[in-house]
Chain A
Amino acid sequence: MRIAVCVKRVPDMELRFSIAPDRKSLDPAGLKYDLSDFDGYALEVALRLVEQRGQGEVVAISLGPDDVQETLRKALSMGATRAVQLKADAVPADGMATARALAAELGEGGYDLILFGRMATDTAHQTVGPMTAQLLGLPCVTAITHLDLADGRGTARRALEGAVETVTFPLPAVLTIDEGIARPRLPSLKGIMAAKKKTVEVKPARLGEARLTIQSMELPPDRPPGRIIGEGPDAVPELVRLLQTEAKVL
């Protein structure tokens, strides 16, 4: 089984962000970067599928400048067989441009499965996976929380608002992976050593025209400071009064 996992390098979301002087990017000072959370789940799903079958390969693919090699190294140290960088000056804001470049690469790969995280935790567009599937003409199921494969077909579950949908599909297919499906492993020492011997293949990204651009970025306004109204159950009547008369939400 051949599985491609498309991964993105994103800033660590736990950090405090500030906006750069150009008013349309993050100030890079103090930022740390890692594999996007959902891409970690996708990678874990791929590694387990290949391990269960005792054969196959997992190819990690990332689009961007040379710093994405760090993210690809992490994927290799977790157990990916090989890695491909689609080299570009920057990751375009336009998901369709990224999807075109990925489709150009993946279409030639003969993959049984192409996995994405449900979304990148930074830009949160949630578009590249299904766009890539559409460009490749492949079946696609998004935001899955469960996956079974047997006899060239898959069954997946996805969460809707207030319901869970069960979906069947044939392989090859494109899937985007939601949280809760598999907790990603940490790179082992053995994995880190093995990754050092692997090379990251570098190819030019065949990006299309970008029609979605970032005009500006800003930090959302802080919430007005709240107050602690009391201690213990005796504070409850005052809370209820404030919710009725001040917040007017009861």
Chain B
Amino acid sequence: MADVFAFAETRAGELRKVAREVVTAARQAADATGGGEVHALLVGAPGIGAHAEPLGRHGADRVVVVEHPALERYSSEVVAATAAAVIRAGGYRAAFFSASAQGRDLAPRVAAALEVSMASDLVAFSFEGDALVGRHPTHTGKVITTVRLAGAPAVATLRPGAVTPAEQPRTPRVESAAPALAPEAARVVVTEVAAKSATRLDLGEAPVIVSGGRGLKEAANFRLLEELADAFGNAAVGATRAVTDDGWRDPSDQIGQTGRVVSPELYLAVGISGAIQHIAGMRTSKTIVAINKDKDAPIFKVADYGIVGDLFEIVPRLTEEIRKVRAER
């Protein structure tokens, strides 16, 4: 029986959804290896400890809370040193982080500080003897690699969305601790965090993604996709690399091999031919719809449903129909 560590990611004082995923995964791991405890770490400005309750709801037995005014923003050095100290003291079987922007930055530093190896971006995992065995989409999603990580603690990042947060409520022991490195001693300092849009969901979190390619002809025509996304009400707008390279959309909107990899419930590819580079970023979406004027476009090979024709006629009609469906709710 061994305990499992979970890093509970926050940003701007809010608990991120991936924190619930990671605690859920840690609970599953602890239960699968004999029913040990789950210990979660919360780091942030004073008040961050209020999130201990939802972590308990997802199966955390103990929550270590590290509060400091300077930790309102993520500090890679302070958080890595603190997580490494907690993990070193806890003698854990495994230590889980999300493969989010923050988790991918943090976990390798923690592993190196502990002088252990790590597994990345797992979509499934199990324990075999003294090893963590995990599945990791590699080669731009064209290969699934199963890796074997020997030794403890097994440090791993989990792909956002791969674990569904589940409740296994308990009342956690909440303990406060000091940062393992004084925030004033940090050399790398986050000076600003600018939210991209207050109204639009992030590509990684939106159940629906409306995505556009060169077929939209010019940047201003993305207004059609913004309107369609508004009609859904729970959608984000993505783009192909060709479009972000041309500056029609922000580079962070790019979906594909070199951009974001997404798996929404519904992915609408509008005016996208379906280059391998793009498919790599969206092929695991639950349902894919393609709208393209060329019936031979490769996007139709991965789409569940396709409409051939002029997107400038089809998209406004679709927006209208989606508005009707939503209004009926």
Is there a chain A Cβ closer than 8 Å to B303's Cβ? yes
Q: Measured between C-beta atoms, what is the minimum distance from B97 to chain A in Å?
A: 11
The chain A residue sitting closest to B151, CB to CB, is: A211
In Å, the complex CA distance between A11 and B265 comes to 31
Chain A residues with CB under 8 Å of B120's CB are: 95, 124-127
**8 Å CB contact of A212 from B119, B195, B266:** B119
Is there a chain A Cβ closer than 8 Å to B325's Cβ? yes
In Å, the complex CA distance between A214 and B134 comes to 10
Is there a chain A Cβ closer than 8 Å to B204's Cβ? yes
- From known contacts A17-B143, A161-B100, A226-B305, infer whether A130 and B109 are also in contact, taking CB-CB under 8 Å: yes
The chain A residue sitting closest to B128, CB to CB, is: A215
Chain A residues with CB under 8 Å of B258's CB are: 37-38, 121, 179
Is there a chain B Cβ closer than 8 Å to A237's Cβ? yes
The answer on a CB contact under 8 Å between A233 and B187 is no
Is there a chain A Cβ closer than 8 Å to B177's Cβ? no
The answer on a CB contact under 8 Å between B105 and A142 is yes
In Å, the complex CA distance between A19 and B310 comes to 40
Q: What is the size category of the interface that chain A forms with chain B?
A: 35 or more
Q: Measured between C-beta atoms, what is the minimum distance from A40 to chain B in Å?
A: 10
Mark contacts of B293-329 with chain A using CB atoms, 8 A cut-off: 1 yes-contact digit, 0 otherwise: 0010000111111111110011011100110010000
Mark contacts of B112-135 with chain A using CB atoms, 8 A cut-off: 1 yes-contact digit, 0 otherwise: 110111111100000000000100
The answer on a CB contact under 8 Å between A168 and B191 is yes
Q: Measured between C-beta atoms, what is the minimum distance from A163 to chain B in Å?
A: 5
Q: Measured between C-beta atoms, what is the minimum distance from A135 to chain B in Å?
A: 6
Q: Measured between C-beta atoms, what is the minimum distance from B2 to chain A in Å?
A: 17
The chain B residue sitting closest to A130, CB to CB, is: B108
Is there a chain A Cβ closer than 8 Å to B15's Cβ? no
Is there a chain A Cβ closer than 8 Å to B288's Cβ? yes
Mark contacts of A11-38 with chain B using CB atoms, 8 A cut-off: 1 yes-contact digit, 0 otherwise: 1011001010000001000000000011
Is there a chain B Cβ closer than 8 Å to A223's Cβ? yes
The answer on a CB contact under 8 Å between B109 and A250 is no
Is there a chain A Cβ closer than 8 Å to B111's Cβ? yes
The answer on a CB contact under 8 Å between B145 and A217 is yes
A199-250 contacts to B (CB < 8 Å): 210-220, 223-233, 235-237, 239-240, 242-244, 247, 249-250
The answer on a CB contact under 8 Å between B195 and A162 is yes
A95-129 contacts to B (CB < 8 Å): 95-97, 99, 121-129
The answer on a CB contact under 8 Å between B187 and A134 is no
* The 10 nearest A-B residue pairs measured at CB: A180-B251, A134-B112, A162-B202, A232-B309, A233-B317, A127-B108, A130-B108, A131-B112, A166-B192, A228-B306
14 intermolecular pairs with C-beta atoms under 8 Å apart: A95-B108, A121-B140, A121-B258, A124-B137, A124-B138, A129-B108, A143-B101, A223-B304, A225-B301, A226-B288, A228-B300, A233-B316, A250-B322, A250-B325
